[in-house]
Amino acid sequence: MAVLEIRNLTVLYYTPKGLVKALDNVSLDIKNRGEVLGLVGESGSGKSTLGYTIAGLLPDNAEIVSGKIVVNGINILNSKEAGRACISVIFQDALTALNPVLTIGEQIAEVFIYNHSLSRKEAYEETVKVLEQVGLPRNFVNRYPHELSGGQRQRVVIAMALSMRPDLIIADEPTTALDVTVQAKILKLLLKVVKENNLTMLYITHDLSLVAHMCDTVAVMYAGEVVEYANVKQLFKEPKHPYTKALLKAIPRVDVDVEELEHIEGSPPSLINPPPGCKFHPRCPKAMDVCRRRKPELVSISGNRLVRCFLYG
């Protein structure tokens, strides 16, 4: 049984400008426990919407028009069953994710007391243990969020996510607001914690370089659709979809000298009035006639990979 199964998920936003199709018939899996799936895309790709939908945090003007999401066999779009699934979310902004008037210790202990029915004493023991796992000293139990640095707060949030012993962790750009040196430490920690505890994670980011080192599998999203899916090594070694290829060539590098960055012409398409056929075709260097007329399906190619492009079938 897959840890996460998404089938034909379509999510719309009602906005003054019209109906925004944020997710267009998305199907995706995280097959194994302990796997980290990277969800990568730019603005409007739908990656954050997907994260929020799974976490049940969509705003009022959003509507799940169709599809199903199953986590460890539990249908989480069914409000009666959904409560049984344990999904924890790590947001971008740790400061607002933490209650400013409670100490760190109290907030983490809360999770143990309410979710796992431990006694106060037991909860305290577990809290200290989990703080250790994220590299924070035990006296931090008495500190308040505003006394901590950004990186330390994010560690606390990770600790809380850990303590829930979740079926699935959704990390949505967890380090975008942090300096790059702090980011490196936090991500290394997150990965270590996830692997040590055999947790399953959906890692959402716009940064392909991070995906290369955090994830086992990768799904690339564009305009509300998954356009490519592969394991991480395959994706970077042999990207198939023209968008993935272009994206990789547009990243500036610290490790090598880049003579000329290749940029993608145009801008991301309107999600209210998307272009006909393949949504990427107006910007695609390899666009063919059929790309304008028909929508490509997500097809399976060698090595357990999926691509949505007429170049491949």
Partner 1 sequence: MGFFEISPETKDMLVRFLQPSTVLGIAILGAIIILGMLVPLISPYDPYATSDHVLLPPLSSGPMWPYIFGTDSLGRDIFTRVFYAVSIDLAVAIITVGLAASIGVVIGLVSGYFGGVLDSVLMRIMDVLISIPGFMLAIAVAAALGASLFNAMLAVAIVTVPIYARLMRGVTLSIKEQLYIMAAREAGLGPLRIIFKHILPNALAPLIVQSTLELGNAIIYIAGLSFIGLGAQEPQPEWGLMLNVGRKYLREAWWFATFPGLMIFLVVLSFNLIGDGLRDALDPRLRGTIKIKRSRLWRFLKSET
Partner 2 sequence: MDNLENKALVKTVDLRKYYPVYGGIIKRVIGYLKAVDGVTLTISKGESLSVVGETGSGKTTLGLLLAKLLEPTSGKIFFKGVDITKSVPKKLRRKIRMVFQDPYASLNPRMKIIDQVVEPLITEGLRKDLAYDKGFKILESVGLDSDLAKKYPHELSGGQRQRVVIARALITEPEFLILDEPTSMLDVSIQAQILNLLKKLKREFSLTYLFITHNLAVARYIGDRVAVMYLGQIVELADKKSLFKNPLHPYTKALISAYPPPDPEKPWEPLVPEDIAVNPISPPSGCRFHPRCPYAMEKCKNVEPKMVHVNFEHHVKCLLYT
CA pair distance 59, 46, nearest whole angstrom: 14
CA pair distance 92, 284, nearest whole angstrom: 31
CA pair distance 203, 304, nearest whole angstrom: 20
- Interaction of residue 238 with partner 1, rule CB under 8 A: no
- Interaction of residue 266 with partner 1, rule CB under 8 A: no
Residue 227 one-letter amino acid: V
Residues 6+ away with beta carbon under 8 Å from 257: none
* 268, two tokens: 């991301």
- Interaction of residue 63 with partner 1, rule CB under 8 A: yes
Q: Which of 13, 124 has the CB closer to partner 1?
A: 13
Q: Which of 17, 120 has the CB closer to partner 1?
A: 17
Binding partner selected for residue 14 from partner 1, partner 2, none, CB under the kind-specific 5 to 8 Å limit? partner 1
The only residue of 8, 32, 43, 61 in contact with partner 1, by rule CB under 8 A: 61
Shortest distance in whole angstroms from residue 14 CB to partner 1: 5
Tell me the Cα Rg of the chain.
Answer: 20
The only residue of 15, 32, 99, 176 in contact with partner 1, by rule CB under 8 A: 15
CA pair distance 115, 98, nearest whole angstrom: 17
- Interaction of residue 96 with partner 1, rule CB under 8 A: no
The only residue of 1, 5, 16, 187 in contact with partner 1, by rule CB under 8 A: 16
Secondary structure element (H or E) that encloses residue 202, with its range: strand 201-205
Q: Which of 67, 150 has the CB closer to partner 2?
A: 150
Residue matched to tokens 């007329």: 293
Shortest distance in whole angstroms from residue 59 CB to partner 1: 10
User: Could you list the residues that contact partner 1 (CB under 8 A)?
Assistant: 14-18, 60-61, 63
